[in-house]
Amino acid sequence: MTGAAALLSDLAGIAGAANVLTGPGLEAYERDWRKRWHGRAMAVVRPGSVAEVASLVSRCARACREGLPVSLVPQGGNTGLVGGGVPDETGRQIVVSLARMRSVRRLDVDNLTITVEAGCVLQAVQAAADDAGLHFPLSLASEGSCTLGGNLASNAGGTQVLRYGNARELCLGLEVVTAAGEIWQRLDGLRKDNTGYDLRDLFVGSEGTLGLITAATLRLFPRPRARFTVWAACAGLPEAVALLRRLRAEFDAELVGFEAMNAASLGLVARHFPDVARPLPDARGTASAPWSLLIELASARDPAALHAHAEAVLSDVLATGGVQDVLAASSVAQARALWRVREAIPLAQAAEGLNIKHDVAVPVSALPGFVEMADARLDAMLPGVRHITFGHLGDGNLHYNLQAPEGVDAARYLADHEPGANAVVYDVAGGLGGTFSAEHGIGRLRRGELAQRRTGVELGMMRAVKRALDPLGLFNPGVMLPGGDGPGPAPP
Ligand SMILES: Cc1cc2nc3c(=O)[nH]c(=O)nc-3n(C[C@H](O)[C@H](O)[C@H](O)COP(=O)(O)OP(=O)(O)OC[C@H]3O[C@@H](n4cnc5c(N)ncnc54)[C@H](O)[C@@H]3O)c2cc1C
């Protein structure tokens, strides 16, 4: 038996033959959500317990030490947008899918925590919290498919970061299988624990490059008694930022979401999902305003009190010209319908064809200047380019995406113009104190930017951490860190 055949036979012994998939038919694991990266896996393994994960990692580390150049690609829901969860084209990588590890281990109502396995789908965690009368606030358009392991490995953001923080802030503890095949577990749900380096924070956001997350303990919150969802049309981003300032002053922590969308984003939704776009009141002009805002308030107050306060503030803003129009959802169903419009934007972009994606953040105060400068430079460089700009304005984070002009081949356009467009966007964001990756991570897509736009000191520390925790380069080589592309000792 060859080294690879012996390895696969041992993995079948560990996870069960039915959970070691090889050969054709692995497309769903080998191709990313955007259909931009398509690799070839040696196998897909679907372990069912942390003990199985530890055994399979130990066995692969042994194979690696014996000279078989194998490495592991952790995968959750495969909804990542930067190509970090799919194998490369070498055929030497094993995808470790956590999809079978999806149980809720514990929910502690008094401690306001839930402990779940990494393969739990985000929506299932939200539902488990809701069933207990509590609230898990991480919320992304991909929540029906993405998993907690993936959310934590990529430190996902989403639509309620303004109030509750990123996935990192929601995580109190982890269970991780290390590159040595050992199990590190800290799932106690403590809010205070100053006992040495914070290992949890090393793994959150590590994109599968340091270890395999198998479970996590997450913060829960009391379920809000009242919600108020409103769609607002406004003339420009300076007005949007002024409205954000006013709402923060009026509502403080009751303001949980503040999203912005330009008219072109909504145009794509109308083109590809006319049914979803229908709740928008075209007749009143909100759908065609230069910018639309989707704002969510949530509170422990009496619903009538929250609604009365919100309506008074919005009437005042409308009367003083701060916004052009507002539409407050009058039912839970209407609120959901408004959110569906926002959530449909990335889907409509995917339906429109390949596009150049940017996930930038700048200080909120600099956002209007960022869009103005980046738009002007790109329009001069790429006449006719379509700006699909939307995102989490309240966090200073915009998906500043570019679609080829109508009628132009999207793949060709991407190949020709992505590097130039990236340079413009990241230079403008960087000049305003911003970042080139706010919530999607680095993956395969932004490794070049990481190498270029982070200092030698930062990169040196990142490499030292990688070397210390994964000396064989077993976990996700080719993702995030420049250098160390294959299994074997990481470069000095
Ligand atoms: C329509 C749509 C909307 C989205 N909206 C948002 C948004 O608002 N905010 C946001 O932040 N992201 C968003 N995303 C991106 C994506 O959904 C998130 O990054 C999500 O957290 C990925 O979870 P996943 O389970 O699909 O991870 P995967 O795609 O499977 O993996 C992502 C990364 O994590 C690693 N990984 C996965 N599981 C583990 C594990 N158990 N242990 C260690 N490493 C692991 C992978 O190797 C990979 O590097 C969106 C994506 C789509 C398609």
Q: Are 48 and 100 in contact (CB under 8 A)?
A: yes
Burial per residue of 335-366, b for 16 or more beta-carbon CB atoms within 10 angstroms, e otherwise: bebbbbbbbbbbbbbeebebbbbbbbbbebeb
Decide if 208 contacts 479 (C-beta within 8 A): yes
CA of 140 to the centre of ligand 1 (A): 10
Burial class (CB in 10 A: 0-12, 13-18, 19+), 40: middle
Task: For residue 436, give the amino acid letter.
Answer: F
Q: Is 119 in the pocket of ligand 1 (CB under 6 A)?
A: no
Query: 280: Cβ–Cβ under 8 A, 6 or more apart, which residues?
Result: 231, 266, 286, 287, 341
Ligand 1 pocket test, candidate residues 46, 97, 122, 140, most atoms within 8 A of CB: 140
From the CB of 142, is ligand 1 less than 6 Å away?
A: yes
Q: Within 13 A of 82's CA, how many CA atoms are on the CB side?
A: 27
Tell me if 77 CB under 6 Å of ligand 1. Answer: yes
Ligand 1 centroid, distance to 145 Cα (angstroms) = 9
> Considering Cα of 224, then 230, then 231, then 233, what sign does the dihedral take?
negative
Average pLDDT of adjacent 10-residue blocks, the chain of 492 residues: 92 98 94 94 98 98 96 98 96 98 98 98 98 97 97 97 97 98 97 95 98 98 97 95 97 97 94 82 63 96 96 96 92 93 94 95 98 98 97 97 95 95 98 97 96 95 96 96 58 40
**Cα dist. 73→15, 93, 94, 413, 478 in Å?**
16, 7, 6, 30, 10
Q: 396 C-alpha vs ligand 1 centroid, how far in Å?
A: 20
**What are φ and ψ of residue 52, in 5° steps?**
-65, -40
Those residues with Cβ within 8 angstroms of residue 463's Cβ, 6 or more apart along the chain or in another chain: 481, 483, 484, 490, 491
Q: How many CB atoms lie within 10 A of CB 463?
A: 17
Spacing, Cα 304 to ligand 1 middle (Å): 37
Cβ(166)–Cβ(154) under 8 Å?
no
pLDDT at site 487: 53
Give 147 Cα–ligand 1 centroid separation in angstroms: 7
**Cβ of residue 82 lying under 6 Å from some atom of ligand 1:** no
208 lines ligand 1 (CB under 6 A): yes
Give CA–CA dist 339/344, Å, rounded.
9
Instruction: Answer yes or no: is the C-beta of 397 below 6 A from any ligand 1 atom.
Output: no
Q: Cβ(348) to ligand 1 under 6 A?
A: no
Ligand 1 centroid–CA 70 distance in Å is: 23
Q: How far apart are CA 202 and CA 223, in angstroms?
A: 30
**Whether the Cβ atoms of residue 356 and residue 417 lie closer than 8 Å to each other:** yes
In residues, how long is the chain?
A: 492
Report which protein residue has its CA nearest ligand 1's atom 28.
78
Distance 330 CA to ligand 1 centre (A): 33
C-beta separation of 106 from 52 below 8 A:
no
CA distance 176 to 78: 19
Answer yes or no: are the C-beta atoms of 93 and 486 closer than 8 Å. no
What does each C-alpha distance from 293 to 54, 57, 148, 172, 485 come to in angstroms? 46, 46, 28, 32, 42
Atom in ligand 1 nearest the alpha carbon of residue 347: 1
149 lines ligand 1 (CB under 6 A): yes
Q: Which ligand 1 atom is nearest residue 208's CA?
A: 44
By most ligand atoms within 8 Å of CB, the mutation choice from 116, 123, 142 for ligand 1 is 142
**Cα 77 to averaged position of ligand 1 atoms, centre (Å):** 7
Cα 338 to ligand 1 centre (Å): 24
Closest Cα to residue 329, out of 471, 419, 405, 228? 228
Please name which of 152, 159, 160, 113 lies closest in space to residue 132, comparing C-alpha atoms.
113
Q: Is the CB of 160 within 6 Å of ligand 1? A: no
Is any ligand 1 atom within 6 A of the Cβ of residue 176? no
Tokens of 372: 């103005």
Q: What is the DSSP letter of 383?
A: T
Task: Say if ligand 1 is within 6 A of residue 393 CB.
Answer: no
pLDDT of residue 277: 74
Q: Does residue 262 line the site of ligand 1, with CB under 6 A? A: no
Q: Is residue 487 within 6 Å of ligand 1 at its C-beta?
A: no
User: Is 437 touching ligand 1 by the criterion CB < 6 Å?
Assistant: no
Number of other CB atoms surrounding residue 376 within 10 Å: 12
What the block records as the tokens of 26 is 């692995």
User: How many whole angstroms separate alpha carbon 56 and alpha carbon 98?
Assistant: 13
